[in-house]
Structure 1
Amino acid sequence: MDILRGIRVVNLALNLPGPLAANRLAHMGAEVIKVEPPAGDPMELYSTAWYREMAAGQELVRLDMKTPEGQARCGELLAGADLLITSNRPSVLTKLHVDWETLHPRFPKLCQVAIFGYPEPRGDVAGHDLTYQAALGLLYPPNLPRTLLADMAGAERAVSTALGLLFARERFGRSCFAKVVLSDAALEAAAPLRYGLTRPGGLFGGGSPEYNIYPAKDGFVAVAALEPRFRERLFAYLGGVSTAGELSTIFASRNADEWERLGEEVDIPIVKVLAAEGT
C-alpha cells in the first residue's frame, strides 16, 4: 500500500509508540528517517527483534540533539520533511528546539505529532504504559499486563492523527500540530471496563454463558457466541443447553483442538486458548 509515497517522515521518538507509528506509515509508502541518540534506541536492548522489525526499511541517523551540531543536522532533515514525530515531554521539546512554536516559523510546511504521557498541565509528569493502566483499574495485581495497551493504542492514534494532519495540509494548505496523549488512549481503551462490560459478572466479564472461557479436556477454549445467530446456533448444536454449568460440562468432554475445528465447521467463534508463555 503506497498511499503515502512521496511523504517524508522524521521520527525522533524512541521505544514505543512512536517507532511503531512510524513503521505503520512506512508500510503505507512513506519515507521514514529514524533519528536516534548516539547510544541508540533503548528498544534495541529490550527486544532486538522487535526493534529491527519496526525500523525495517527506514534510514537511520544518529544525532546528539543536545548539541548545536545535532540540532543543526536535525534542521536539515526537517527542511525536506512533511511530518515530524516526537515523544519527549513538553519541556524537553523546548530545550531541544523541536517544539512547535520554534519549528513552525522555520518549516511552515511541516506537520508535527507530539506524543505525551499526560495532558496539560501534567505534560511533564513521568508516566509509562504500566502506570497508565494501573491508574484505570486495568491490572490484576500482582500480575503484570500481557500487552502494552496504552503504547499500542497510542501508536494507532499517532498514525490516524498524522494522516489527519497531512490530509488537512493538502486540503486547506496549512500545516498543523497535534498531541497524542497516552493516558487518554488508555482511558479510551478502558471504556469497556468503565461501562461495566468487562467487570466480573458483566456481559464480557463472565456474566454471559455464550461469551466465556471453559476448560476443555486438555486446556481451555474461548467461546464468543455473543450475537444472536451464533448463540442460537451454539445452544442448538449442544442440545438446547444454555447455562454456564451445562456448557462447562460439555466443553470438558473434548479436546480444545476438536472444539476449534467444530467451531469452524458450524460457524461459531470457538478457539483454543493459547497458553501464555511463562505460566
Structure 2
Amino acid sequence: MTSGPLAGIRILEIGHMLAGPYATMMLADLGADVIKIEPPSGDISRQVSDSYFASLNRGKRSICIDLTTEAGQARLGELVEESDALLANLKPSAIHRYGLTYEALRKWNEQIVCVALTGFGLAAGDDPAFDYVIQAATGVASLTGDPSGPPTLPGYSSADNSSGLTAALGLLAQIVSGSGGQVEVSLQDVMLSQLNYRASSYLNDGVEPRRLPSGAHSYYVPAQLFPTADGHLALFITHDGFWRSFAAEAGIVGFETMAERAERRDEVLGAVTEVLATDTAANWESRLRPLGVPASAVRSLPDALNALPEAIVTAGDYRLVGSPIRVAGYEPEYGPPPLLGEHGDIPARI
C-alpha cells in the first residue's frame, strides 16, 4: 500500500451542505489533509442528520473559527500560511466579506489556490442558487420527465455533485500549475456544460431539445426504458452491431441501420416493446449482457447497493459509498466525519 496521491496536500474548506464538502471529501479520499473550518454553529448540514453529514465529510478535520472577528481572521491567516488551497462554497458577498479570495489571502501565502464555488459566479450577486433552482434555470428540468407530464428533476443533487467534482478538478489544476491564484466554478456554468451535445445541437444545427417518452435518447433508437413482463429494462442501442445482436436474440427482422431506426422510430419502438413484454427485465438482462448488448433491469437504490457490496466502505460508525476513483496500489483509509471543532489545535503539517 502506498500513500495517497494527494498526501502532503492541505486543503481548507469553508462552506455548507453539499457541493463544496463533496469536492473536498473526494480530495480527502485521495489522501489530502482537509480541514473543515466551521462557524461556532457548525455546517448547517449537521442539522439534517448525522448520516447526511457523514456522507459529505468523512476523513476531514474540523476547527471552529468565527470569521467575523479579528481573532478569527488572524487564525485563518495562520492556516492559509500552512495550506495549499482554500475552497469556499458560500454566497459571493460572504466570500468577499470574510476575505476568502486570492487577492485577500495572498498576503499570507502567495502560493495559495483559492476556489470560489458559487451559484452564478463570484461577481454575479447573491441570488439563491440551490441545486433544484439551477436545474430549473439551465434547462435540465425541462428536458427531464415524460413529454405528456410536467418537467421533473433527477432523484439526487446532480448540480451540487457535478459542481463539486468540477471544483475539485479546478483546484488540482491550479495546484499543478505551480502558482497560486483564483479559481471560479459556478453551478450554472457546470450544468450548462453538462448539457454539451444538447446545447451544441441547438447552437449549431438549430435543433431545439425536447423530451421524449420513457427517457428516450434524442437520436439513438432504441435507447430508453421499456416495460417488460416484470419490471422495466434500460436498453441502449448506440450502433448497428448492438442492434444485430439484440435483434437476433429478440427475433426482430429489419431496421438494420441507425439512420433507418431513427427515421422509423415509432415502428422500431413498437416492435421492441412487444417482444420485451414476453420476458422479465431480469431475464432480458441476463440474456443480453453476454451478447455485449447494453441493458439493465431498473433497480432500486437498495437493490443496487445489495448487488455491489464492494462499493460500500466503513468510515467510523458509518457505512458509506466509497470513492469512485481507483488508484493502483492505494487503498483509502476512510476516517469518520469530524465532530464540530474536534481538531481545535491544528499542527503545522501531518
What is the CA–CA distance in structure 1 between the aligned matches of 2:208 and 2:216, rounded to whole Å?
Answer: 5
Give how far 1:99 is off. 2.4
For residue 69 of structure 1, report the CA deviation from its aligned partner.
2.2
- The residue that corresponds to 1:97 in the other structure is 99
Counterpart check, 1:222 vs 2:234: yes
Percent sequence identity over aligned pairs = 27
1: CA distance between counterparts of 2:122 and 2:55?
Answer: 33
Q: Aligned partners of 1:197 and 1:261: how far apart in 2?
A: 37
Misfit runs of 4+, over 6 Å = none
Shift in Å, 1:262? 1.2
Deviation at 1:7, TM superposition (A): 0.6
| Number of the residue aligned with 2:260 | none
Contact 2:134–2:188 (Cα < 8 Å) also in 1: yes
Between Structure 1 and Structure 2, how many residues are aligned?
A: 273
Counterpart in 1 of 2:347? none
CA contact (8 A) 2:92 2:121 kept: no
1:30 maps to 32
Q: More deviation in 9-18 or 50-59?
A: 50-59
Find 1:51's aligned residue among 40, 50, 53.
53
Aligned residue in 2 for 1:181: 186
SS of the equivalent of 2:63 reads strand
Structure showing greater relative contact order (alpha-carbon pairs closer than 8 Å, 6 or more residues apart): 2
Task: Measure, in 2, the Cα distance between the counterparts of 1:90 and 1:51.
Answer: 24
In structure 1, distance between residues paired with 2:239 and 2:17: 39
Counterpart secondary structure, 1:253: coil
Aligned partner (choices 258, 279, 290) of residue 265 of structure 1? 290
Candidates 147, 154, 167, aligned match of 2:156: 147
Distance in structure 2 (CA, Å) of the matches to 1:8 and 1:159: 13
Shift of residue 156 of structure 1?
A: 1.2
AA matched with 1:119: G
Alignment gaps of 5+ in structure 2: 202-206, 256-267, 303-350
1:12 and 1:120 mapped to 2: Cα distance? 15
**How many angstroms does 1:16 deviate by?**
1.6
Equivalents in 2 of 1:77, 1:55: separation in Å? 19
Q: What letter matches 2:194 in structure 1?
A: A
1:251 aligned onto 2:262: no
1:16-27 matched pairs, under 5 angstroms: 16-27=18-29
Pairing 1:116–2:118 present: yes
* Contact 2:216–2:225, Cα closer than 8 Å, also in 1: no
- Give the Å deviation of 1:17: 0.8
Residue of structure 2 in register with 1:67 after alignment: 69
Could you tell which deviates more after superposition, 62-71 or 149-158? 62-71
Output the CA distance in 2 between the equivalents of 1:252 and 1:276: 24
Q: TM-score, normalised on structure 1?
A: 0.89
TM-score by length of 2: 0.72
1:86 matched to 2:88:
yes
Q: 1:168 aligns with which of 177, 199, 203?
A: 177
